[in-house]
Structure 1
């Protein structure tokens, strides 16, 4: 400041600590708030930051969210960390308050110094970052692929020297950037990176991260700071009240006394309330800013409205408003602005105060000037935002520009930004037809961005403004999808069915897709078959597709036939659907996998289930579709558990839990239930079954109840508690769900026979024949033969047992084959053929033990003893050394498959350095020293005796 008295002089006689406080706090209020070597009263906070910075020297990473009221000192602490980060590469970003966010703006700000390292990343990750930063034009990447790319970029940079990443004003960071940074923060482990956030309140995407609340100064320090900026001597009671009402907030203590006379200070702040502190501080700023010349105030408003702090844009807009630099840089302007490589405010509250207090007329003028100086080729989206803010009335040209900006934002993966552009476009559109079109698009984009309430509001706008039936039905379709996404599952199927019917005259392909969504929703959540039958009848009444049917068309036709015409009619169509799905691009497979995964199950094709599920999972991983990945992993986990590779299945369970925790999206524990039931772990499985049933009933999710009861039936058959197995299987087979009840029928037959309920068993066997025979697969006919053998009282039983073993032996379903040996051995023993029985039972016992099916192994062990053989119990194969954690086991399995550390990092969404860190622990626990030795240290799916 030039020629203006400095009000912040320490009064004569002030303590040395107060003098230091003035210098420190003045430096804190400088550009960026950083650079201070000491902070008054912040010893514990500084010590915590020092410990974090020291940890990177040992190859670790640290994350901390500093949160607290405006002005409490978060920026100062971030500045302290930056100044203390000796020898580290410091990256800094600041969130900017804006009416309309631009996607990944803060992320670009943080990562810009590292863009020369993009060639070091795997190709998909490099392409993802280049797309969201506008370097290349490609399909929008999944946000979790972007997050993995940022994690890899930081990890790569930290190989050269440790990194400090400081993100201030995180409450104003654009949502796309914050989601990515929140994900990265949760995956940092061994990368030598410190990631710090400063925020007023903890945003949703940062919840669960380590945090530290920054409160006001302690009384003694607050008194000293207040003394340093006041003239004369304050009455001790007045001073105590000021300290109490400001809660020791340093900015309040520094700023509130400004502009007040000695007598006003002596009288105290009679009207000050702590809950209005930010507003009171802003008013203090504004009172002083009003004393500036008009040109200087206008420059401050231009700087407040320009989101990136580009000096060229700020001065260009000021010139268009008739504000020359000489007049704008009046006495006092420097107190508020730092004009360096970027134009920044000394404190974010100054910016918000200036912007919010401006008249609408001035705001429109400033935004129009900024739009005029913004390059429409280089930065069309910010120009569109400025034009929208400058519009005083609906304007079709601006609305169209916003619509184009929404398309560009969506292409970069900025769903929230695309939604914001479209919402503003609707507000500026006067033509009803265009308004309805844009409202539909806004509702769809807002739904994808996860803001269901706002999406519903724009769907209503579209419905009210619809000028034809097609616009109306599209609005109805969006509302149906919102209902489905909101979890109102009993309401979604009829809404989707209605939308599909209304779409038929306009777009048959879209109608079929909507019928399929309605069918899948009803199959997942409906409590009875009536709704599923209604949807299936409506789908069958559709005219045949023109030309070659799409995979979606075949899946829908097959499912509809399954419900209305029976499995025999549906199987040929579903087999064609499987072939079409095999040729479908991965992106489309991902889109329909949640409903198409049932095709292989419907035709009892275990290999097709594994292949399709594996393809879907690989596609989800490659695309970084972490939100969908747990849903994709579930059918794969079920399929893998059916092969008896419990190690791989357990790794899938761990991955599901890991990804669900990272995304915050819960997933039903179907794989874990299935795995624990096959293992026969009674206590933990029963607890999980009860919890899963309770949660599924509360959510109206039929599949969750069915899967839990199926697991219970398998568990209790293994334990030999056949009455309980019978009850669980009966509940499971009574439901309208189409896959699991068929798989539970063999459990029902076995449990009913052992419980002496032959009539029930024969009825279940008839149902099983109807479900299994049309497919003709070895899996279907093998379990059918095994079940028929249980009810055959004549000489045909032995042939059926042998047929079951032969057929199941041609599959990879080792648990089913082992159970066939067990039932044959039990039949031989009951027919007093003890020697043959011992051979079969020993084969079954060894298979169960090697797989890890503890309850079934114990059942076989009892039968062996009854057959006259003394056998020592085996335990399931486990790796040597200490127990591996789930993630260590995942990594070990992937290394065993031959994947490199970067490939494993991509698969598990962690950095290669974290993979190496885990691998060192794996080697230590298993007592090995190389990757080659893992093959012998871990059991494989094929381990165990020859079941022939």
Structure 2
């Protein structure tokens, strides 16, 4: 009956053939209800009957229960969980409620899904079919999207049936096949095949027109048509989403007991016939009530309960009265074992409640805690929200409502959090409750706009908390201050935040790292940089990993402020290690992308690119907000797309009110233009960055401004920029700061004095390990030597700079060095022919770990890919490096054999 679907069938057949050949892929089959998505998936199941079939179907009622869809898909593989790596096995068992433990990181669950599918694919190709993905719980949908992007090297085909619109962004990035409406000719052919009696042409035309190319509509419109109706004008208009109405019409013809049984089955998403029969018995129904629905082809009951189409389930539930639904949920709650499935029982009890009921509300709140332990933020929020509405005590209701709003925010639904806060009557709130509301508003504003409008509510919260909890107040002040810095000139009232922090209750004794950090930032922002920087350095040295885990972006910002790359890398590497060990979903991509910025200063552009690749993958898998080192990476690489990337970042950041990013983007643009020798353009970008930065990259922007101004013949600007730079470098004690100060001093001085500063800069930057800055300094020194007529010395510096900048992938600066070297009469060495076949960033990451002795499984767990993908990359690595074994990778200069 798949009329007019030759193109779609060909696509699915090709995908299955590729999977059987070891080249996996995923495809979303999109379209409106009834268009034929399910029929195409069933056709694929028949075509791939020799493959191992895993299947699941999204259920609207279960959208709030985390990992329910994934459990359905992977249930046949439960006996294989013991073959997973320990962390992955524990995460999956916790997600499925098979063990009690801390909340499983969703990334570990997603990795376990990929590993499990990859394991069984070694025996025979696998076909994963998931229908009605739009009704999958969010946790399952994200885990599937994660796995779907990583099966290219696996004999796995994944087909996902989805009714638009997409609510999970990660799914929208997957390849898709849109199933169109049938043509009139195909619709007529399908109608003719479905009917067993002649049909008058005008009636045929009307049915085809009303069905609008929807196959299910065509078939349903012909159900039960009598000969008289065929000749006399039958037709039920199908308007847009009225497919459900067709099934409601079918339900109207069924006996009342049958309709009640269908309602019970629609509210019981597990498809468990024993549970259904128990609930049906409690409703006073007989097993025979199912027969009319089975005879009508609307329901099948054998090992599982299955509806003819998801819209039958929806129609059965939506057409019932509220009292009927409550009665059914009450019966299901009574039939559900409270020991085996307490969460679903609590949810049924809540749906059965006609009004406030503290016992049910408490049961639901307890279920929310259990669901949180399983990692289900969306479900936790739904349980808490319903619990709040059922709570009788006003104080407890407020507590649950605020908790639900906070979890909504953490679950990535800030608009829902705002809607919940609208139910709060602030006139009757206690001071602490008012502070909670304000803090939540600030967190929401920060999440949505990353700075704009966040500082003010956080400040109000801190001031309200001060008389009640001084330590908590200072912590909120720190967050408010950092929020105002991020918002910058686009909405951050830094002066107000600073004054509030200064007026806050003094730090208790002994002060915490948060106290030291708050005092240090306040002093820097009020002009006492030396003392403030010393406190920041103290905080960087003393802060514990748990404290920094909540402030990963702040680590990079503050370490750069005091020119301390060692602390920058050390703290963030610990955070990365900690995140990998714990499987921390949100922390890991932030830490990876932030530490990538430090590797740029160290001249390790390939490493930075690899880290950003991993961070980008994780951001796509988790939906967390990205960081911005990709802008400076592109700038150091001399990427021609940098200007467009900066423009897009500025537009986005301006719309959200993130002033720091706007200034940072101009800082990256100054690097890019300095690399290409566009000093006038670099001057404009660096001036903007320097004038709009009060913290973090102020010193780095001043360094770019000194270089651009001296080359653009703007000595007054260069002198002022140098003075601004010295305010930051003089407050630091690192070789990085000293080297940068000497370099800029060399740029603005002359003769022997300049020579001294350049040589001192090379010495200090060599000691700092900041090889990116070292080679840029060598380039500037070589340029100065050439202009002094010292060609031989210039050639040496420029040659070394060119070779080092080329090796690290800093193409813009390397080309600048090549031009300068040419001006001395020496041609720069061209790249070897084989250079284009160097390692990619991902291959470099794998080669490093193989060289350290890691197995494919260990690397797969580290990089969040499958072991088979690691082996595929390893074959490319062997080919590119002309080697044949893992042992040969040890001792190789891998960074020299890579390109970003």
| Cross-structure match for 1:208 | 173
Q: Whole-Å Cα distance in 1 between the matches of residues 492 and 137 of structure 2? A: 45
Cα shift at 1:104: 0.9
CA distance 1:471–1:334, shift in 2 (3 Å): farther
Given the alignment of the two structures, is residue 173 of structure 1 paired with residue 136 of structure 2, yes or no? yes
Alignment of 1:290-689 (within 5 A): 292=255, 294-325=256-287, 327-330=288-291, 333-335=294-296, 336-464=298-426, 466-487=428-449, 489-527=451-489, 531-581=493-543, 583-585=544-546, 588-625=547-584, 629-662=588-621, 667=626, 670-680=628-638, 683-689=640-646
Encode CA deviations 1:262-320: one digit per residue, 9 max, x unaligned: 2223222355234254133123311221xx2x443332222222221222221222222
Cα shift at 1:439: 0.8
| Cross-structure match for 1:239 | 204
CA distance 1:548–1:862, shift in 2 (3 Å): same
Given the alignment of the two structures, is residue 273 of structure 1 paired with residue 238 of structure 2, yes or no? yes
Q: Alignment partner for residue 95 of structure 1, among 58, 64, 80?
A: 58
Number of aligned pairs?
895
Encode CA deviations 1:646-685: one digit per residue, 9 max, x unaligned: 22223234334444455566646x433323433445x444
| Cross-structure match for 2:16 | 53
Q: Whole-Å Cα distance in 1 between the matches of residues 24 and 541 of structure 2? A: 47
The range that moved more, 46-55 or 362-371, is 46-55
Q: Whole-Å Cα distance in 2 between the matches of residues 792 and 232 of structure 1? A: 99
Cα shift at 1:808: 1.7
The range that moved more, 609-618 or 55-64, is 609-618
| Cross-structure match for 2:771 | 814
Contact 2:153 2:872 in 1 (8 A): yes
| Cross-structure match for 1:5 | none
| Cross-structure match for 1:150 | 113
Q: What is the TM-score when the length of structure 2 is the normalising length?
A: 0.92
The range that moved more, 727-736 or 104-113, is 727-736
Contact 2:26 2:158 in 1 (8 A): yes
Contact 1:415 1:448 in 2 (8 A): yes
Q: Whole-Å Cα distance in 2 between the matches of residues 58 and 695 of structure 1? A: 43
SS of 1:392's partner is: coil
Contact 2:329 2:351 in 1 (8 A): yes
Contact 1:561 1:569 in 2 (8 A): yes
Encode CA deviations 1:313-366: one digit per residue, 9 max, x unaligned: 2122222222243x5355555543322122222332222222222222222222
The range that moved more, 426-435 or 645-654, is 645-654
CA distance 1:761–1:374, shift in 2 (3 Å): same
CA distance 1:127–1:545, shift in 2 (3 Å): farther
The range that moved more, 608-617 or 437-446, is 608-617
Contact 1:463 1:475 in 2 (8 A): no
Q: Which has the larger radius of gyration?
A: 1
Contact 1:643 1:815 in 2 (8 A): yes
Q: Whole-Å Cα distance in 2 between the matches of residues 878 and 902 of structure 1? A: 34
Q: Alignment partner for residue 153 of structure 2, among 187, 190, 198?
A: 190
Is there any run of 5+ residues in structure 2 with no aligned partner, and where? none
Q: Whole-Å Cα distance in 1 between the matches of residues 181 and 490 of structure 2? A: 59
Q: Whole-Å Cα distance in 2 between the matches of residues 891 and 462 of structure 1? A: 52
The range that moved more, 852-861 or 631-640, is 852-861
Encode CA deviations 1:778-813: one digit per residue, 9 max, x unaligned: 111122122223444575444433332222221111
SS of 2:128's partner is: strand
Q: What is the TM-score when the length of structure 1 is the normalising length?
A: 0.87
Alignment of 1:126-165 (within 5 A): 126-165=89-128
The range that moved more, 775-784 or 296-305, is 296-305
Cα shift at 1:642: 1.1
Q: Whole-Å Cα distance in 1 between the matches of residues 4 and 732 of structure 2? A: 76
| Cross-structure match for 1:921 | 876
Q: Alignment partner for residue 725 of structure 2, among 765, 768, 782?
A: 768
Q: Alignment partner for residue 872 of structure 1, among 801, 804, 827?
A: 827
Q: Whole-Å Cα distance in 2 between the matches of residues 376 and 95 of structure 1? A: 24
Q: Whole-Å Cα distance in 1 between the matches of residues 487 and 637 of structure 2? A: 28
Q: Whole-Å Cα distance in 2 between the matches of residues 251 and 830 of structure 1? A: 80
Q: Whole-Å Cα distance in 1 between the matches of residues 790 and 699 of structure 2? A: 33
SS of 1:204's partner is: coil
Contact 1:550 1:580 in 2 (8 A): no
The CA RMSD measured in Å over matched residues stands at 3.1
CA distance 1:182–1:113, shift in 2 (3 Å): same
Given the alignment of the two structures, is residue 738 of structure 1 paired with residue 699 of structure 2, yes or no? no
